[in-house]
Amino acid sequence: MLKNNPFNRLFFKLLLGFWLCSSLIIALVSLLPLLQQNHDRSPLPPSLERMLENVAERIQEQPQLLEGKNLQRLRHNRNKDGGGDRKHNGGPLRLYLTDGEGQVLNSKHVSRGFRRFQLMAEEADQPISHQFRDELIFGPYSFEVNSKPYQLFGRLPDNHPRPWFFFFADNKLLTAGLAILLSGLLCGLLAWYLGKPLRSLKHSANALARGDLSSRVDAATANRRDEMGQLAIAFNGMADAIEAMVNNQQRLMGDISHELRTPLTRLQLSLALARKKGQHSTELDRIEYEAQQQDALIGELLTLSRVTLNVSEKRLTAELTETLSQVLDDAEFEAEQQGKQLHIDIDESIRFNHLPRTLSRAIENLLRNAIRYADQHIYIESQQTKNQVRIVVSDDGPGLPEEELEAIFAPFYRPDSARDRVSGGWGLGLAITQAAVEAHKGRIVAKNQPSHGLIVTIDLPI
């Protein structure tokens, strides 16, 4: 558990991740000078040492080479015996002869690289070789002529392979850019590792907010042993509690509505007996009217409860026109009775898995609402894509204020223009429609049309 192992805490993971990332970059960058220094002081290869040794022996055998023009000609190796070593990797050998004080005797113009190599060789205190950008310098080979100390250096220009790390040492801007890129990559991996469970939590929270009470954080996130895992477990526990509470509330509403049917049935039976005995009065007429209204309200509550809990109905794969045939016939008749026209444009090829009775009740409520408020025309259209079925119901009525477009799907909510019971009902029709859409894991949105009228769009996933 997290409390028994503090190193599973997110704090330690963040600390360790960023610390390792920065340490790795610093170590790689700091290692380049060390590698270069080790290469600078690499021992002189035997082949190069033999080249210098052959020249030194020739000078010892012919001391006159240290005088006048002979000394200048000593700049290039022309010894036949050393001819096999005269060229190394395709480049001519150039020699530098220095006295005991380090002064070059056979050349007036000495490159800056050679001066730098002299210092490197002096610090190394042994013969070494070093590959510069465009030349290889090696030495010194120490010898004596007439009891005077001399040192011999060699230089081979161009086309000599260098270790890979010299490329980074010579291109510092590129090295810095690669270090920044590597650091960004490592930090990006760490951010992805930390952001993945957060995205899962966000997705589940949004789904829960949209009404999908079955949404839970995935098991991979819940099984983590840090704070993210505990947060996922707490979220899933909260979602379980919310789902149970909402379902219990819906069952309670359904149970209460069902129980109210019993005394209401007795009341209606008593009214029927009174009518049979010839009892007629304004009060009895009012009681009968209110009883009918109460019975209709209880029926709507029971329907809302059933649709919300998604019980007593199985999904079927059927054509949309088959599911809505009776609803469309009734709506067309109702529109004609009110002098209005219903325009139907539903593709007969649309066929998908759905809850027929629940979906037909949702569309019926939308059509009745559109017919009630339309001026002349009501439209219902549908189209199918690869992933969803879209059903659109629109009218040419007055529309709604923008602030009421989301509230109309709440139970018992009625817009200000529909407060009277005759036109506005109890505010349960659109709540039943939304519950039916959510039972299909779909989405419903109401918008005002640019000119006038309301348009309601239902998207049902396939």
Secondary structure in 3-state letters for 272-316:
HHHHHCCCCCHHHHHHHHHHHHHHHHHHHHHHHHHHHHCCCCCCE
Least confident of 256-265, 349-358, 414-423: 414-423
H or E element, residue 372: helix 356-373
What is the identity of the amino acid at 460? L
Per-residue pLDDT tens for 34-92?
665 555 566 788 888 898 898 899 888 888 888 877 777 776 654 444 433 444 444 67
Which of 76, 258, 280, 343 is an active site residue?
A: 258
8 A C-beta contact, residue 74 and residue 59:
yes
- What's the pLDDT score for residue 74? 74
H or E element, residue 196: helix 172-209
8 A C-beta contact, residue 332 and residue 342:
yes
Q: Token pair of 337, please? A: 């009775």
Average pLDDT over residues 371-379: 90
Task: Tell me the CATH architecture of domain 227-308.
Answer: Orthogonal Bundle (1.10)
DSSP tally for the chain: helices H, then strands E: 13, 13
Binning pLDDT at 50, 70 and 90, where does residue 307 land? low
Q: How many CB atoms lie within 10 A of CB 191?
A: 12
Q: What are phi and psi for residue 278, nearest 5 degrees? A: 85, 15
Q: Token pair of 456, please? A: 């309601």
Asked about 76 being catalytic, the answer comes back as: no
Q: How many CB atoms lie within 10 A of CB 63?
A: 12
Rounded Cα distance, 411 and 431, in Å: 5
Domain ranges of the chain: 41-170, 227-308, 313-461
- Give yes or no on whether 41-170 and 227-308 have one common fold: no
State yes or no: pLDDT of 213 exceeds 80: no
Beta strands per DSSP E along 190-292? none
CATH, domain 313-461, list 3.20.20.140, 3.30.565.10, 3.40.50.300, 2.120.10.30: 3.30.565.10
Average pLDDT over residues 277-301: 74
8 A C-beta contact, residue 104 and residue 71:
no
What is the identity of the amino acid at 400? L
Rounded Cα distance, 166 and 10, in Å: 40
Average pLDDT over residues 319-337: 91
Per-residue pLDDT tens for 428-459?
778 888 888 888 888 888 899 887 889 999 99
Q: Token pair of 375, please? A: 């001026």
Strand 351-354 relative to strand 148-157, pairing = unpaired
Q: Token pair of 289, please? A: 């009217």
Q: Give the sheet arrangement for strand 388-395, strand by strand.
A: 341-345, 377-384, 388-395, 454-461, 443-448
Per-residue pLDDT tens for 132-167?
777 888 889 999 988 899 999 988 876 555 555 556
Query: For the domain 41-170, what is the CATH code?
Result: 3.30.450.210
8 A C-beta contact, residue 258 and residue 250:
no
